[in-house]
């Protein structure tokens, strides 16, 4: 599933073709994805101007001049791609329609935004822009890891006394929004913390040290266009590249990349998810 860097990369790629432009025509080619689409979604989107695209956790929000916002979640296999952009940032020719092109937005600048989702775990919804933060999918989210509210003092307080493994705590979207399996594994490796260690047993200085490390990992991943493992593509159809720099994720049985370390990367299963770590470097 795309995590924060992938969603932010898609948002940034869509923005030049959508922000400040109008949806000339919206096509909705099925009644649902993971959940049913809102009533009259195509009609409510057609003619709407896009004021801005923003991201909250793993969701993209398109604020419209109709007073509504379009919420988009890519799910497991969803892609949002741009074609025909007149600025020349993307491929000019529109590709032929594909089987899983479920929502298509024809912009007034000639761009076409296509939401393709083979497995249909993605989602879209329309909601009032005012009070959007109260939407059921957004209301309980914690602070953004790249925002000011995600501070060292906040994380120390949030994890104090928690008996859950640190990996599970960082994946809890109520504690911090947008982190997923890949980037938590990578951040914990850089911090030298084993993913199985209980959060309550980690000293406050080590917990505080996770904040800049998490920010660095996410920022580097965004700069690399995210990580492409299976279905993920950037808005222009290109792959992300951060997967080529993984220190631990997906590297089970391979040598640790820390100079002088002779350990191998181990995979363990926590709450049904694979965790990757070096038993020598992470304690």
Residues annotated catalytic, as ranges: 2-3, 58, 273
CB-count exposure of residue 61 (10 Å: 0-12, 13-18, 19+): buried
DSSP state of 49: B
Measuring CA to CA, which residue among 135, 197, 145, 137 is closest to residue 166?
197
Name the E strands within the chain. 23-28, 50-56, 59-64, 68-73, 79-83, 101-107, 112-116, 123-128, 265-270, 273-278
| Contacts for 68 with CB less than 8 Å, ≥ 6 apart | 44, 48, 126, 127, 128, 129
Residue with tokens 């694979």: 274
| CA angle at 229 for the pair 225 and 231, rounded to the nearest 5° | 90
């Amino acid at each position: 599933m795309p995590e924060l860097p992938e969603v932010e990369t898609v948002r940034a790629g869509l923005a030049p073709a959508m922000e400040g432009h109008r949806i000339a025509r919206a096509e909705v080619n099925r009644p649902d994805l993971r959940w049913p689409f809102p009533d009259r979604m195509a009609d409510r989107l057609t003619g709407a101007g896009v004021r801005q695209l923003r991201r909250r956790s793993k969701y993209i929000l398109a604020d419209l001049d109709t007073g509504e916002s379009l919420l988009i979640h890519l799910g497991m296999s969803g892609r949002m791609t741009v074609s025909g952009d007149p600025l020349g940032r993307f491929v000019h020719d529109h590709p032929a329609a594909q089987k899983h092109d479920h929502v298509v937005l024809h912009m007034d600048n000639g761009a076409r935004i296509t939401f393709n989702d083979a497995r249909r775990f993605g989602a879209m919804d329309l909601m009032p822009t005012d009070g959007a933060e109260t939407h059921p999918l957004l209301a309980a989210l914690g602070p953004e890891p790249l925002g000011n509210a995600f501070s060292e003092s906040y994380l120390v307080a949030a994890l104090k006394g928690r008996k859950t493994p640190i990996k599970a705590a960082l994946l809890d979207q109520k504690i911090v929004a947008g982190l997923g399996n890949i980037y938590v594994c990578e951040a914990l490796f850089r911090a030298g913390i084993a993913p199985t260690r209980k959060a309550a047993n980690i000293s406050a200085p080590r917990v505080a040290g996770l904040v800049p490390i998490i920010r660095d990992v996410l920022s580097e991943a965004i700069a690399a266009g995210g990580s492409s493992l299976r279905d993920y593509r950037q808005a222009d159809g290109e792959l992300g590249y951060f997967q080529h720099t993984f220190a631990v994720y997906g590297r089970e049985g391979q040598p640790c990349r820390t100079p002088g370390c002779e350990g191998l990367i181990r995979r363990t299963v926590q709450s049904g998810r694979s965790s990757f770590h070096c038993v020598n470097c992470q304690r």
